[in-house]
Amino acid sequence: MLRSLLFWFLISFFLHFPTTSTVYSYDISYHGEAIPIIREEEKPIGTLFIPRIHLKQSFYSKDSLENTIEKHVSILKESPPPSYENSLFLLAAHSGEGEVAYFEELNQLEIGDSVEITYEGVAYSYLIDSIWEEEKTGYIHVPSGEGRQLILTTCSPGKKNTQLIIYCIEDI
């Protein structure tokens, strides 16, 4: 009995534990039948470094299966990359608690703090220009701006139904 219980406990525990970063995709080119294949482990396309909160995290390309907030800091689909002069690069990540809550200390940032990014091997420096919160609706409202812009967003730590938005402009 005890062995049986211990077995079920271990099975359940490991089923809820965070998974590894193995990448899955499906090849549907052959007779239309989806055949799962395992690709080589992907490399991140860039890194985010926020000195004030000692955050340094990698992120993956927009089309990568690794580009999900369940695993990493994630590029939102609407993001033109920083390689464009007039770019609006949006990064999101979980806050709250848990190992993927990379942005759990994002509310400690202040206007003027620096944020650094590498993207495809090129470094970009930003300064926080403004910080605001919006009601959580599944959308954020991003104002029009010029030059290289970076948005960091997450649920406001410690607040319910509030989205924290940090707007950064390139530090020229």
Q: How far is the CB of 158 from another protein (least distance, A)?
A: 11
With respect to another protein, which residue has the nearer C-beta, 13 or 24?
Answer: 13
Q: Closer to another protein at the Cβ: 43 or 159?
A: 159
Binding site for another protein (CB under 8 A): 1-2, 5-6, 8-9, 12-13, 16-17, 69, 74, 76, 78, 88, 90, 92-98, 100-101, 103, 129-130, 132, 134, 138-146, 153-155, 163, 167, 169
Task: Give CA separation, 72 vs 9, 37, 60, 65, in Å.
Answer: 28, 22, 8, 11
d(CA 127, CA 145): 14
Residue 30 CB, nearest distance to another protein (Å)?
32
Give the C-alpha separation, 83 to 76, whole Å.
Answer: 16
Rounded to whole angstroms, what are the CA distances from 155 to 5, 42, 163? 38, 28, 4
- Closer to another protein by CB, 90 or 117: give it: 90
